[in-house]
Amino acid sequence: MATRAADTIVPDHVSPALVRDFSYFRGPEMEPTPCGRPQAALSFVHREGPAIFYAPNNTYDGRGTWVFTTAEDQRAVLNNTEVFSSNRGIFKAALGEDLPMIPLEVDPPNHMKFRALLNPLLSPKRVDAMEAGARERAVRLIESFKAKGTCEVMNDFAFPFAVGVFLQFLGVSDDRRDEFLGWANEQFHGTLEQRLNAMRTVVDFMKSLIALRRREPTDDFVSFLLAAEVEGRPLTDKEILGIAVLLFEAGLDTVAAAVGFDLYHLATHPEDQQRLRDDKALIKPAVEELFRAYSTIQMLRTAVRDFEYKGIAIKAGDLISCPTMIANRDPAEFPNPDTIDIARDNNRHTAFAYGPHRCLGSHLARRELIVGLEEFLARIPTFRLKPGSAPITYGGHVFGIENLDLSWA
C-alpha cells in the first residue's frame, strides 16, 4: 500500500526521510523562466539532502522516480543493465503499440547486435565525410542574417542548422522541418494529450516513409535499414520502425538546444567569447565544457527486480532517474563544478549518457557544435543579448531555450 502526500503517491518501501519535493517540470527555473539557468539551478542538490532521494510526481504521467545525483552512482546504475533496464516501453504505454525504440530500449546482450549495425553510420570517419555539408549549411544560414545585425538564434540558426544536418542524414526533406519541430515541441514539452498526438504522428509519418522507401529506395538511412541484416537475417518491420522513430526524434531537439545554450553563454560571458575569438584552438575544449555545464537530458531506467543499493531498498518497477545536468556538476567529479572553464582538462562529462546506451550520435553532435561555433565566431562580430530581450529557458524531459535574440554592431 502506498501513502499519498501533497497530491503525490509515495510507495511504502520509500523512507519518508528520502522523499524530496523535486521535479524537472516545475519549481525554480524548471518552468519557462526569463534569462534562467536551469542546469545551474539544480546544482543545489549536491549541497542539500541525500545524494539519492525519491521525487514523487517527477515524470510526464505523474509517477515518482528515484533521483541519483552523483556521477559515481549514475555510472553504477547505467552500467548495471541486469537490474536497471532501459526498456521502458514508452510507445507501448502511451499508444498501446509494441514499438521498442532500438537500440535505446533493448538491453544487452541483444542491444549489441543493433549497436554494431548502426555504429558505422555515425562513426568519426562518417562524420568527417559529413562535415563539409554541415559547414556549408552553417555559413549559408549565418550569411543570411549577418548584415541585419541581429538574429533570433533558435529559429534563424540553431534549428535549421542542427536539425537540417540530421534530417539530411535520415533522408527526410528539410522543407518540413518546422512541422517536425512542432511535433518535437509537443512531445517533449506539451500537455499529455499533445504528447500522445505527437507520438502517434511521428509513428505514422515514419511508417509512411518506410513504405515509400520500399517502393522507391534511395541511398538514405531508411533505405539502409530496409536492406540491412542482423545475425544473418533482415530486420523485421517492427525493428525498422523502432530504429527509425528513435533516430528521427533524437535529432529534432537536443543538438539545437545545445547550440542555443552555447551562444547564450557566450553572449552573456563576453570574456569567454573573446578568448575563443583570440584562440580558436580553445573551441574544442570549450564545446566539451559547455556540454557539461548545459546538459539537457536525463536517463530513466526501470528496476526489473528488487535491489538494495547503498542501503536503499529499490523495488521492481521503480523508476530511476540519472540527470546529466546534475551529475555534471558533481563536486566529487569536477573541481569548481559551477564555474564554467572553457579550457577545463580531463572533462569526463556524461552529457551523452554513459554505459552501453551512450548516445549513438555523440560524434556528430560534437562536430556540429564545433562547426557551428567556428563559423558563428568567424562571421559575426562580438555579439550580446539584444537590448530589451529576455531569452526563455525551461527544464523538462529535454532542457531548452527559446526567444534568444542576439545583436552585434
Mean per-residue pLDDT, 330-339: 96
pTM of the model as a whole? 0.92
User: In this structure, what DSSP letter does residue 236 have?
Assistant: P
Locate 211 and state its grid cell.
513504405
- Of the given ranges (74-88, 159-173, 391-405), which has the lowest mean pLDDT? 159-173
Mean per-residue pLDDT, 119-130: 91
Residue 2: its pLDDT value, please? 41
270 has a pLDDT exceeding 90: yes
Q: What percent of the chain clears pLDDT 70, i.e. is strictly above it?
A: 96
Q: Residue 386: pLDDT band by 50, 70, 90 thresholds?
A: very high
Sign of CA dihedral 332, 337, 341, 342: positive
- Of the given ranges (41-55, 177-191, 194-208), which has the lowest mean pLDDT? 177-191
Write out pLDDT tens, residues 54-97.
999 888 778 899 999 999 999 999 999 999 999 877 766 656 67
Pairwise CA distance, residues 256 & 259, whole Å: 5
Mean per-residue pLDDT, 175-189: 80
Q: Residue 163: pLDDT band by 50, 70, 90 thresholds?
A: confident
153 has a pLDDT exceeding 80: yes
289 has a pLDDT exceeding 70: yes
Residue given cell 531548452 in the structure block: 400
Cβ neighbours of residue 150 closer than 8 Å, sequence gap 6 or more: 386, 405, 406, 407, 408
Locate 183 and state its grid cell.
511535433
User: In this structure, what DSSP letter does residue 156 have?
Assistant: I
Angstrom distances, CA of residue 91 to CA of 36, 97, 133, 163, 207: 32, 6, 33, 23, 14
Angle of helix 362-379 relative to helix 237-268, nearest 10 degrees, comes to 30
3 has a pLDDT exceeding 70: no
Q: What is the mean pLDDT of the chain?
A: 91
Give me the CATH code for the 3-408 domain, please: 1.10.630.10
- Do 296 and 189 form a contact (C-beta atoms < 8 A)? no
50 has a pLDDT exceeding 60: yes
DSSP line for 363-403: HHHHHHHHHHHHHHHHHS-SEEEPTT---EEE-SSB-EEE-
Q: Delimit the domains of the chain by residue range.
A: 3-408
Burial class (CB in 10 A: 0-12, 13-18, 19+), 311: exposed
372 has a pLDDT exceeding 60: yes
Mean per-residue pLDDT, 352-381: 95
- The three-class DSSP label of residue 3 is strand
Pairwise CA distance, residues 238 & 197, whole Å: 20
